């Protein structure tokens, strides 16, 4: 399944930042892109019909994680990921011609905080987000016995011009009221959207890559370092600070996404010869604000 051959790619969650960018990335190569909508009332048969003869299925389903986690919102986070993935796997089971590759989203939030992690690590956090990711990945893995190559894409913070984390980070810094979050010591694992898209293309043409893959730059950095670089690139002061208690007040349990320290390395991509265009945060930031 080499890139260069025309591919039929089904994307569940095509309207989001990553889904829309995947479509933009693969369209010029004359691939066929199918936007797959999986709703509560979608039948397994109707999903299978759209999936039939697809080369690649990309699952990006899921309500945004960066929000206040009420009990009701946690249920939404779970159902939008687990239930959708379960339906996709059930649809794969009845496909006449199954997808060859199933790329399913996950997150570095799966890992235990405050320790160095790579793709081979199995030290997971004991919290809601980690449990959610583990269950999400377990559902996707059920496609493996069906003869489908499964890759769980563990995304770090995604940096892009139009949307994602940068749409929330940049405005306060541009106004001169940016600063560190909490004590600023937490490590941030991130990836530029262009490298994310290139990594997907790389995995499609590298059959040896299976199971979980960290979609992160080889150079994670602390929130303090990130803050300094933002100030330098944007030529703005960075002496403001958002205290941890205020972040917890705003986001509840969701504050862990901002305050937990995740130092994660993309060992599998590097071992297979993938080259990042944006290894350093400053280079990625300059491209985004250019």
Per residue of the chain (290 residues), give pLDDT as tens: 555 579 999 999 999 999 999 999 999 888 999 999 999 899 999 999 999 999 999 999 999 998 999 999 999 999 999 999 999 999 999 999 999 999 999 999 999 999 999 999 999 999 999 999 999 999 999 999 999 999 999 999 999 998 889 999 999 999 999 999 999 999 999 999 999 999 999 999 999 999 999 999 999 999 999 999 999 999 999 999 999 999 999 999 999 999 999 999 999 999 999 999 999 999 999 999 98
Which residues, other chains included, contact 63 with Cβ-Cβ below 8 Å and sequence gap of 6+? 73, 76, 77, 80
- The model's pTM: 0.96
Contact predicate 194/201, CB 8 Å: no
| Domains along the chain with CATH numbers | 8-160+190-216+264-271 (3.40.50.720)
Residue with tokens 């299978």: 48
Please tell me what DSSP assigns to residue 112.
P
Angle between helix 84-94 and 128-141 (nearest 10): 10
Q: How would you label 181-219 residue by residue, b for 16+ Cβ within 10 Å and e otherwise?
A: bbebebbbbbbbbbbbbbbbbbbbebeebeebbbbbbeb
Return the structure tokens found at 150: 């499964």
Cα gap 166→171, rounded to integer Å: 8
């Amino acid at each position: 399944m080499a890139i260069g051959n025309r591919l039929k790619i089904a994307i569940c969650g095509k309207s989001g930042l990553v889904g829309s960018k995947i479509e933009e990335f693969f369209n010029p190569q004359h691939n066929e892109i199918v936007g797959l909508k999986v709703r509560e009332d979608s039948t397994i048969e109707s999903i299978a019909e759209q999936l039939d003869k697809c080369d690649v299925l990309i699952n990006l389903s899921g309500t945004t994680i960066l929000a206040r986690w009420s009990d009701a919102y946690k249920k939404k986070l779970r159902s939008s990921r687990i239930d959708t993935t379960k339906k996709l796997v059930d649809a794969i089971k009845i496909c006449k011609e199954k997808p060859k590759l199933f790329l399913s989203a996950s997150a570095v939030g799966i890992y235990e905080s405050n320790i160095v992690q790579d793709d081979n690590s199995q030290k997971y956090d004991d919290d809601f987000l980690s449990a959610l990711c583990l269950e999400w990945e377990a559902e996707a893995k059920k496609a493996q016995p069906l003869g489908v190559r499964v890759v769980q894409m563990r995304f770090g913070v995604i940096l892009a011009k139009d949307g994602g984390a940068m749409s929330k980070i940049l405005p306060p810094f541009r106004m001169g009221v940016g600063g560190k979050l909490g004590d600023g010591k937490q490590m941030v694992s991130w990836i530029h959207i262009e490298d994310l898209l290139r990594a997907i293309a790389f995995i499609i043409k590298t059959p040896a890559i299976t199971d979980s893959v960290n979609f992160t730059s080889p150079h994670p950095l602390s929130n303090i370092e990130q803050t300094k670089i933002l100030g330098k690139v944007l030529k703005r002061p960075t002496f403001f600070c958002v205290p941890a208690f205020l972040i917890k007040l705003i986001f509840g349990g969701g504050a862990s996404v901002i305050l937990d320290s995740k130092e994660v390395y993309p060992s599998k991509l590097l071992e297979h010869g993938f080259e990042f265009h944006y290894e350093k945060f400053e280079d990625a930031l300059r491209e985004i604000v250019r």
